[in-house]
Amino acid sequence: MVISTTTKRVALVAVVLLTLFLLLRPTSSSLSDAPALESSPKEPAQASRSYPPPKPSKKIQQPDEQTLRELASKPLRDRLRYHFPYDIESKFPAYVWQTWKEGPGSGQFEERLRPFEASWSTLHPGFVHEVITDDAAVHLVNYLFASVPEVTEAYEAMPLPVLKADFFRYLILLARGGIYSDIDTEALKSVVDWLPPNLDKSTVGLVVGIEADPDRPDWSEWYARRIQFCQWTIQSKPGHPVMRDIVATITEDTLAMKKVGNLPKGQKPSKSIMEFTGPGVWTDAVFSYFNNKEYFDFSSRKSNVTYSDFFGVQEHKKIGDVVVLPITSFSPGVGQMGAEGTDHPMAFVKHEFDGSWKPQSERMKGGR
């Protein structure tokens, strides 16, 4: 019995080390070895109203000791910007990231999830497709964010798996980019078909979909925001400012709650999951970016970007370097809010929701 237990532990350690070696060879400031999603031939970019894309960050070489000492005193967002620079002209990395309690190679992996997981590999040949287990995620976060210890501290302080699963999707996209999608989603079309063929991909750094556009007086009982962006499927280039902002926001909120003892292990925190790590705070981060003068030229804008800019959207909408997809793209077949069926040309990903629709106060994102 002792031999069997030891063998299992050794095997687990070997799997984790192999995962780290294969996936994480590129450093956080260089993705030259990462597979990339090929863009279509460049053509005139789709009109983006009057919002120009943000200026890309310059690539930073390996820092010397003095630079690291100076950097240590900088605010969290500045350090994240340094360690995870954003290059808008780079290609979307060809990664598909998913998380679950067990990996597909385990006998514990639920059979009902296998067709969903397989759909991503089938439609994305040549992509690195990884289902990161909860155990492996801890090691990945510690590796990727070793230079930003507050982030790893916040991740480890989260009292519920659903919170860590939410946080992990933002962390992996900030550090590595690619596609994140929940394990209970089915890929209906390849990501190659998500954007119009005449859209210059070097002007796009983030692709999000509308989860909810509820034109009803009781919308707040069902959703966190009047217009809500889904976070069960996101495509991003590494270092994107929205990813940097939400990672910083969640990190700061987590450490503040930890300091006053509001993160009891195994229990829900004082802040709701929707507002802590879920689509509420995610939607806020996207809108905050749209209205940030650091990235957008306000000289030609008469008002902020608001919920009303996305009411009834039926096709791609590009604002700066962000493409917002209509509700049909990531929520086809829900039978409400204007969503079309799964056979619609704009239907890209189907989310099974791991159950039926429930008020947002009862929903636990990620199926955990």
Q: Are 155 and 171 in contact (CB under 8 A)?
A: yes
- Give the pLDDT of residue 134: 94
Closest Cα to residue 226, out of 337, 346, 354, 318? 337
Half-sphere exposure of 312 (CA within 13 A, CB side): 1
Burial 313-347 (b: 16+ CB within 10 A, else e): beebbbbbbbbbbbbbbbbbebeebbbbeeeeebb
Place of tokens 């799997």: 15
Cα–Cα distance measured from residue 206 to residue 148, given in angstroms and rounded to the nearest whole number: 23
Calpha distance 22→35 (Å, rounded): 12
3-state secondary structure of 180: strand
Cα(53)–Cα(318) distance, integer angstroms: 10
Distance CA 284, CA 346 (A): 25
- Alpha-carbon torsion (246, 249, 255, 258), positive or negative: negative
319: left (phi over 0), alpha (psi -120 to 50) or beta: beta
pLDDT at 53: 47
Q: Is 242 exposed, middle or buried (0-12, 13-18, 19+ CB in 10 A)?
A: buried
Looking at residue 36, its pLDDT comes to: 58
Quick one: which of 20, 16, 26, 14 has its CA closest to 178? Answer: 26
The C-alpha angle with vertex 171 and arms to 220 and 156, in degrees rounded to 5, equals 90
**Strand, helix or coil at 234?**
strand
Cβ density class 229-239: b for 16+ within 10 Å, e for less: bbbbbbbbbbb
pLDDT at 129: 97
* Listed residue (181, 25, 22, 160) closest to 96, CA to CA: 181
Domains of the chain in sequence order: 42-367 (3.90.550)
- Give the whole-angstrom CA distance, residue 205 versus residue 222: 30
Say whether 197 sits in a helix, a strand or coil: coil
In 3D space, the residue among 151, 189, 156, 143 whose CA is nearest the CA of residue 170 turns out to be: 151
Q: Which residues of 178-191 are buried (b: 16+ CB within 10 A; e: fewer)?
A: bbbbbbbbbbbeeb
Q: Please name which of 198, 201, 185 lies closest in space to residue 234, comparing C-alpha atoms.
A: 185
Look up residue 331 and give its DSSP letter. Answer: S
Q: 282: exposed, middle or buried (C-beta count within 10 Å: 0-12, 13-18, 19+)? A: buried
Where do the H-state alpha helices sit in 100-226? 114-123, 134-144, 149-157, 161-175
**Average pLDDT along the chain, 368 residues, taken 10 residues at a time:** 43 49 44 44 34 47 69 89 96 97 92 96 96 96 96 97 96 98 97 96 97 91 94 98 98 96 87 94 97 88 91 95 97 92 96 55 41
> What pLDDT shows up at residue 335?
87
